[in-house]
Structure 1
Amino acid sequence: MTRAYLGIGSNIGDTKKHIEDSIEMLRNNKKIEVIKISSKYETEPIGYTDQDWFLNVVVEIKTELEPYELLKYCNYIEDELKRKRIIRWGPRTIDVDVLLYGDYTSDDEKLTIPHPRMTERAFVMIPLYEIAKDIKVNGEDIKTIVDRLEDQEIKKL
């Protein structure tokens, strides 16, 4: 089993339910074990800012799925919860991203691990730090990364 971290976010409809439903779908997969779930955080949108704030969590899992299989399952969850890809960084019912997957790295266009831009986003790094205080991302201590993001607005619920 490989330890992986997923970022989950929503800003359309019942955001709390969308996140809970996505976590339940992870739990229902026999090849995934949910280990930890961060607190929920409200965060301002990045990129396309004319939209509601997001609700975000990070989930630690152990999985037998290979990286591309895990990505495929994350996409399945998004499809089941009616995610529409209309505007880049736009509103969504759910977003399930593979942030880290063991020691695996990839620069593939379909799957980049560690997730690109994750170290620039408080809505990923702060919940990740909450559940994994000792990890490194791209060889850098997570606490150092989090300290750089203190200017981004984020509210722990």
Structure 2
Amino acid sequence: MYIKRKLNESLITFKGLRFGVKLREKSSHRYRVTVGIGGNVGDVKRRFEHLYMFLKRDKRVELLETSLILKNPPFGFVAQDDFLNSIIVLKVSMQPLAFLEYLHRVEKKFARKRSFANAPRTLDLDIIFFENRVIKTPRLTIPHESWSKRESVTIPLMDIKR
């Protein structure tokens, strides 16, 4: 069950038992990583719940925090359903490129298919921050490009920073 709050005509937030919560402060893993999660195909809230449980069971990561879930309109390719987005904060011991590969495997496990930029998707996982690192390579940019211009990131991020 989720508590729904309308921010304006196009933005709605949802808080629940697993989203909008702080879980742990300490971890044996080395790096703090902020990951944006999103999707707009199928039962996305249920998929987020399954992702939460998957991450809780996976010893390679430790789930520290989750933000509220934000329902927001798509950008780029706009002829598609609204997205649900959230932020999760993890601790990992993987280096950034290895963690990116890990996230791609998780997306695939949750039936993500890559067709074109900003296409509808079951699950999208983006590294927003990885510790305080700045990385610019053809495969990976950290912090995530244009994170500060996207409500789908900034509103859930503000929820975590409270």
Q: What TM-score does the superposition give when structure 2 sets the normalisation length?
A: 0.78
2:54 aligns to what SS in structure 1?
A: helix
Structure 2 unaligned regions, length at least 5 = 1-29
Equivalent residue, structure 1, for 2:47: 18
1:54 to 75, 80, 83: 83
TM-aligned CA deviation for residue 92 of structure 1: 0.1
Equivalent residue, structure 2, for 1:73: 102
TM-aligned CA deviation for residue 61 of structure 1: 1.1
1:42 aligns to what SS in structure 2?
A: strand
Write the letter of the residue equivalent to 1:17. R
Equivalent residue, structure 1, for 2:122: 93
TM-aligned CA deviation for residue 57 of structure 1: 0.6
**Per-residue CA distance 1:21-65 (angstroms, 9 max, x = gap):** 222222222121111100111010010000000011100111111
RMSD between aligned alpha carbons? 1.1
Structure 1 unaligned regions, length at least 5 = 134-157
Distance in 1 between residues matched to 2:55 and 2:136, nearest whole Å: 25
Write the letter of the residue equivalent to 2:60. K
Contact map agreement 1:25 1:77 (CA 8 A) in 2: no
* 1:35 to 2:57 alignment: no
Write the letter of the residue equivalent to 1:36. E
Structure in which a larger fraction of residues adopt helix: 1
Write the letter of the residue equivalent to 1:113. I
1:117 to 135, 143, 146: 146
Give aligned pairs, total. 133
Aligned sequence identity (%) = 33
**Per-residue CA distance 1:56-89 (angstroms, 9 max, x = gap):** 1100111111111211111011101111111210
Runs in 1 of length 4+ with deviation above 3 angstroms? none
